[in-house]
Structure 1
Amino acid sequence: MLKRLFYVSALFVCLAPLFVGCGDGGSSDADLKAYVENYAALVYANYQEVETGLKALQKATDELVANPSEATLKAAKDAWLKVRDPYGQTEVYRFYAGPIDDDRGLEGRINPWPIDENFIDYVKDNDKAGIINDTTTYPTIDESALTGANEKGGEKNISLGFHAIEFLLWGQDFSETTPGTRPYTDYVTDGSGTASNQERRGQYLKLVVSILLKDFQDVMKEWTPDTSGNFRDKFVNGDVNEALKKILTGMGKLSNGELAGERMTTPYNEKDQEEEHSCFSDNTRADILNNAMGVQNVYLGKYGSVSGKSLDDLVRAKDATLADKLKSELEATVTAIKAIPNPFDQAIVGDDSADGRKKVKAAIDALKAQAVTIAAVAKLFNITVVTELED
């Protein structure tokens, strides 16, 4: 009897490895947990780079206001463009009620779009427009005034965030080949400056950058490691399947509803630069590219020096063909976006046979295709993902 038990036990030990993970088709809860932890690490690394960029932007805009010149204006613009690259790659962390888009509404203060620029400052046909020039309604330019004004009276009445700063640096864009050309003299306060209320304009610019940095840091602290009770702590130590659903939702909604839909199909159909994402700086193609790269980062489990267990690893353990398909589609999307000619506002005009429009449409189609595959990947894990945006 003991000898028989020994043989049965030995057989179980020999076969046990074959059964590990077999219930979920080749990947284990430990693998999924490792991926969720790596995802949290890459989110934080990405956010750290954005924070560094925002601090550089604050330094550059402070210098512009203190010493306005062609050089300080260019430095401020360069700092804005530089931080937009890593920020664009963070947008895949949206769409699942995480810190960026929970009930506090910080996304609507950090990156609201589109904006009605005449809510902020003068425009071509109205040199008295905007908060900056409305000294009656806004006698003081301070944090309370700017935060209270955001979306007041309409969703395009934007007073905060990246695109408010963009407008204050570039001004309106009327050129087919160049971005906006706001002069540095709009910030000169010695009596020789252009436009009116130069001092208020400088106050506004400094404040809106400061608020952006603070709001972003409020999001970032929820992803700080080793912090009991913050979002990251609950995310990595909670239900790993729920965490995976959030990750896939972010990938799917950014790919389809946000990028292929709001940010690309709408301007493609309207043929209107007012509908493009960064219409003052002509940075729209770079915005779209970095959004797509963010989805790719999450699938491959890599950002900067962070690299670990990936979603590709988990999918490949279940269905190598599907893993190859999504990996290939993500790269094809990046390639298609890179092929769109700059500036984006000129790529969307003309008839549908125009080279620019054909390339924009190809990128839209690529994004839609990868969203379908992301939804198929979700089903491998018995997860249903909706890739359209809710109204």
Structure 2
Amino acid sequence: MLRALAAPTVCLLCAAALPPVAAADAPDVAAVAKTYADIAEAGYTDSLIEARKLEAAIDTLIKTPTEDNLATARKAWIAARVPYMQTEAFRFGNKIVDDWEGRVNAWPLDEGLIDYVSQDYVDQAPANDLYVANIIANTSIKIAGEPVDTSNITKELLSGKLQEAGGVESNVATGYHAIEFLLWGQDLNGTGPGAGNRPATDYDTKSCTGGHCDRRAQYLEVVTDLLLDDLAFMAAQWGPDGAARQAVMADGGRAALIAIFKGLGSLSYGEMAGERMKLALLIHDPEEEHDCFSDNTHDAHYYDALGIRNVYLGSYKRLDGSVVAGPSPSDIVRAKSAEADARTQSALDETMKLMDAIGQRAKGGEAYDQMIGEGNEAGNALVDEAIQALIAQAKEFERDITALDLKAIEFEGSDSLDSPGNVR
């Protein structure tokens, strides 16, 4: 699997030390911090609610493995991604989130660790001993030369021994993308039309395809239950007594401003524009698209961008239609510089417009992996426009930081943007 070299951290802004942020019409900083924490709590709670629906659909699939029930489980997975992707705006600026995130959303993954894969995939043979370990087919494997009993697929096995086993980030055994692979299977279409096409009979112990249907069902059940555990943990961290909420409320809420702008700038620039979009476009590799098994990447990017907008404007629409809103970073920026806030909101609008255009193109029949395909000039151009909009958006966050006289904040970088010659 092709990957970029380690991404650098980019200093997009090096400013003076943090003085008081105050203006006659500016909201209280603590109130902005509270809104930020309230939106996080609501987003992770909604993610947990949707994951429970996914679990119910998966239970039905396992008990009655029909194509209709598989389709229902897939729809539940796609629905579960909607609130979760909006929470990614809380990464990077909040250590508790970034340390945890790999448990639920790590990618790309070497899917041969989990289940059967195509011979073409096997033949790639990268320098990862567990590249085709196939936990579902094997009751014992070796990690770093030591035997590991995999006869019983448990939460501890998946999260404690297999996740990033051997220090290899692509050894992903848990989270949304492990579930995605188990529901769709590999997408063997390259940059052509079509997503993964795993049959429901892969879970039918009476008419089993793919072998080991009982263990595949066990893995899917355990990994989904583990996702619920992880989401419940993070929702609690943003609750009234949670560690994440307490961290951003520190120093009268001033800590939240650093977390907010580091998170928004890093997600816009290094993560989305760089690692998730520019890298895949540079090498035209569908393995580098975010939701690669389901061809749901257009939605993943859209809701990531929406999450950034939610945080900046201090407003999040919950799944039940209610709105969590309050004093926002936009309000504080506008009190310092109406021009800076207007520019930022305009940049956010442009990004959302282009993400919507990508989504409309996907819904029209051209999936995101086709858009990044070599020779697809129109698709490539649209994706690149969205990348440039994200970069421009990050620059506006940089101007906001300057307007607020915040201390030096480093945004995450990406070789695909900063050193494209290093991408291989």
**TM-score with structure 2 length normalisation?**
0.82
Alpha carbons of 1:94 and 1:124: their partners in 2 closer, same or farther (altered >3 Å)?
A: same
The CA deviation string for residues 254-292 of structure 1, in whole angstroms up to 9 with x for no partner, is 000100000001100010100111100001111011110
Quick one: which amino acid aligns to residue 240 of structure 1? G
The equivalent residue for 1:122 is 116
SS in structure 1 at match of 2:136: helix
Which residue, 159, 164, 188 being the options, matches 1:174? 188
Quick one: which amino acid aligns to residue 387 of structure 2? I
| In 1: Cα distance, 2:212 partner to 2:21 partner | 64
| Deviating 4+ runs (over 3 angstroms) | 27-30
The equivalent residue for 1:135 is 139
Pick which of 115-124 and 231-240 moved more. 231-240
SS in structure 2 at match of 1:303: strand
CA shift at 1:66, angstroms?
1.2
Checking the alignment, whether the CA contact within 8 Å between 2:187 and 2:196 is kept in structure 1 is yes
The equivalent residue for 2:8 is none
2:173 counterpart of 1:163? no
The CA deviation string for residues 324-356 of structure 1, in whole angstroms up to 9 with x for no partner, is 1000100100111222232110001134x7100
How many residue pairs match? The answer is 362
| In 1: Cα distance, 2:172 partner to 2:118 partner | 18
Pick which of 338-347 and 86-95 moved more. 338-347
The equivalent residue for 1:369 is 392
Higher RCO structure (Cα 8 Å, ≥6 apart)? 2
The equivalent residue for 1:145 is 157
| In 2: Cα distance, 1:32 partner to 1:136 partner | 54
Let me know the Cα RMSD of the aligned residues: 1.9
| In 2: Cα distance, 1:261 partner to 1:287 partner | 15
CA shift at 1:157, angstroms?
1.1
Which residue, 187, 199, 209 being the options, matches 1:194? 209
CA shift at 1:242, angstroms?
2.1
Checking the alignment, whether the CA contact within 8 Å between 1:112 and 1:158 is kept in structure 2 is yes
2:372 counterpart of 1:348? yes
Identity percentage of aligned residues? 39
| In 2: Cα distance, 1:117 partner to 1:186 partner | 16
Checking the alignment, whether the CA contact within 8 Å between 2:351 and 2:389 is kept in structure 1 is yes
The CA deviation string for residues 283-336 of structure 1, in whole angstroms up to 9 with x for no partner, is 111101111000100111100111211221111111111111000100100111
Quick one: which amino acid aligns to residue 324 of structure 1? A
2:342 counterpart of 1:330? no
2:263 counterpart of 1:250? yes
Pick which of 233-242 and 78-87 moved more. 233-242
The equivalent residue for 1:38 is 35
| In 1: Cα distance, 2:26 partner to 2:252 partner | 10
2:105 counterpart of 1:111? yes
Unaligned 5+ segments in structure 1 are 1-22
Larger helix fraction of residues: 1
Checking the alignment, whether the CA contact within 8 Å between 1:375 and 1:387 is kept in structure 2 is no
Checking the alignment, whether the CA contact within 8 Å between 1:252 and 1:385 is kept in structure 2 is no
Larger strand fraction of residues: 2
Quick one: which amino acid aligns to residue 382 of structure 2? K
The equivalent residue for 1:10 is none
SS in structure 1 at match of 2:409: coil
Checking the alignment, whether the CA contact within 8 Å between 2:89 and 2:304 is kept in structure 1 is yes
Matched ranges for 1:1-391 at <5 A: 24=21, 26=23, 31-101=28-98, 105-125=99-119, 130-137=134-141, 138-147=150-159, 148-153=161-166, 154-175=168-189, 176-190=192-206, 192-225=207-240, 227=241, 230-304=243-317, 305-340=323-358, 341-342=361-362, 343-351=367-375, 354-383=377-406, 384-389=408-413
Quick one: which amino acid aligns to residue 390 of structure 2? L
Pick which of 275-284 and 142-151 moved more. 142-151
| In 2: Cα distance, 1:156 partner to 1:328 partner | 37
Quick one: which amino acid aligns to residue 90 of structure 2? Y
| In 1: Cα distance, 2:21 partner to 2:199 partner | 61
Quick one: which amino acid aligns to residue 206 of structure 1? E
Alpha carbons of 1:50 and 1:260: their partners in 2 closer, same or farther (altered >3 Å)?
A: same
Quick one: which amino acid aligns to residue 113 of structure 1? W
CA shift at 1:390, angstroms?
8.3
SS in structure 2 at match of 1:121: coil
